[in-house]
Amino acid sequence: MHVVLTREVGRNEALAAWLPSDAKASEVPLTTTRYVDEGTVGDELRSSGSYGAFRALVVTSARVGRYLALARGALAPDAGVFSVGPATTRVLHERGMKVHAQATGAARDLALQVSRGPVLVLGAAAMRDELVVVLGERGIDVTVIACYETVPSPPDEDGAQLLRDAQVVLIGAPSAWSVARAFIGPDTWVVVPGPTTGAAVRVQHQRVIEGWGPSLRERLAAL
């Protein structure tokens, strides 16, 4: 089984560990991350009317780790911390922040867990707004700070051929799919982390598997 991993170089190790033992894995990065200057994020936090009084922090990606020290100063002493995905939770724990609840899929899954506002959300520039909408409907004030953006990165010809030949391709975000879709045939299985990316892929591709984790090994072996 030929599997192509499309996250940035250095971000595919965990995914490779979830593949069947007989799988041949190739890396073809399809995105790169542009981080917002930490000074800019700090200024935006301090200019918020709720600085020092946020009762909840929602972190939607492990990429936000470099901004957590800045976020601490924006939180009230009793603030709850919420994360999206186990990788994000690990980063929070590494920085000494206790996670009160974790969503395994989309950020909106945390909406019912967050009961107090104002809420500070740290994530991507193109972050989906379901969480903000649901909390707003409940009368909870939300401030969203964009910390990074994921930018498509087209493959070279060798990478494009690897995508064409792959039996399985792992796609971590809609931005990666926007690049990959031109090279992936209808018989290729596309594996995504959750429903947000799954919905983006299914618009143009039928063979989709949702869910990253140790169980992926058995699911791929059964194909």
| Residue 107 and residue 49 share a domain | yes
CA distance 36 to 183: 31
Nearest-10 Cα torsion for 152, 172, 15, 159: -30
| Residue 165 and residue 124 share a domain | no
Q: Partners of 177 in the beta sheet?
A: none
Q: What is the average pLDDT value for the chain, to the nearest integer?
A: 90
Domain boundary among 150, 185, 206: 150
| Residue 50 and residue 127 share a domain | yes
Tokens of 117: 């506002």
| Residue 51 and residue 135 share a domain | yes
What is the tally of structural domains in the chain?
2
DSSP letter at 16? H
- pLDDT given for residue 185 in this prediction: 94
**Using one digit for the tens of pLDDT, what is the confidence trace for 131-158?**
888 888 889 999 999 999 988 899 999 9
Q: Residue 124 belongs to what domain range?
A: 34-150
| Residue 142 and residue 63 share a domain | yes
Tokens of 131: 């969480």
Cβ-proximal residues to 112 (8 Å cutoff; 6+ apart), any chain: none
Cβ-proximal residues to 161 (8 Å cutoff; 6+ apart), any chain: none
| Residue 160 and residue 97 share a domain | no
Q: Partners of 4 in the beta sheet?
A: 26, 169
Nearest to 167 by CA among 183, 195, 196, 190: 190
| Residue 123 and residue 44 share a domain | yes
**Mean pLDDT of the region 52-65:** 93
The answer to whether the CB of 111 falls within 8 A of the CB of 91 is: no
- pLDDT given for residue 85 in this prediction: 80
Instruction: Kindly tell me if the per-residue pLDDT of 167 is higher than 90.
Output: yes
**Using one digit for the tens of pLDDT, what is the confidence trace for 168-219?**
999 988 889 999 999 999 999 999 988 878 999 999 999 999 988 888 888 8
Give Cα 42 distance to the centre of its chain.
22
Phi-psi region for residue 43, left (φ > 0), alpha (ψ -120 to 50) or beta?
Answer: alpha
| Residue 13 and residue 101 share a domain | no
pLDDT bracket for residue 106 (50, 70, 90): low
Residue 78's domain is classified under what CATH number? 3.40.50.10090
The answer to whether the CB of 217 falls within 8 A of the CB of 20 is: yes
Tell me the Cα Rg of the chain.
18
- The pTM of this model reads 0.76
| Residue 86 and residue 137 share a domain | yes
Phi-psi region for residue 84, left (φ > 0), alpha (ψ -120 to 50) or beta?
Answer: beta
Listed in order, strand segments (DSSP E) in 88-204 are 101-103, 119-124, 142-152, 168-170, 189-192
The answer to whether the CB of 60 falls within 8 A of the CB of 107 is: yes
Domain boundary among 98, 126, 150: 150
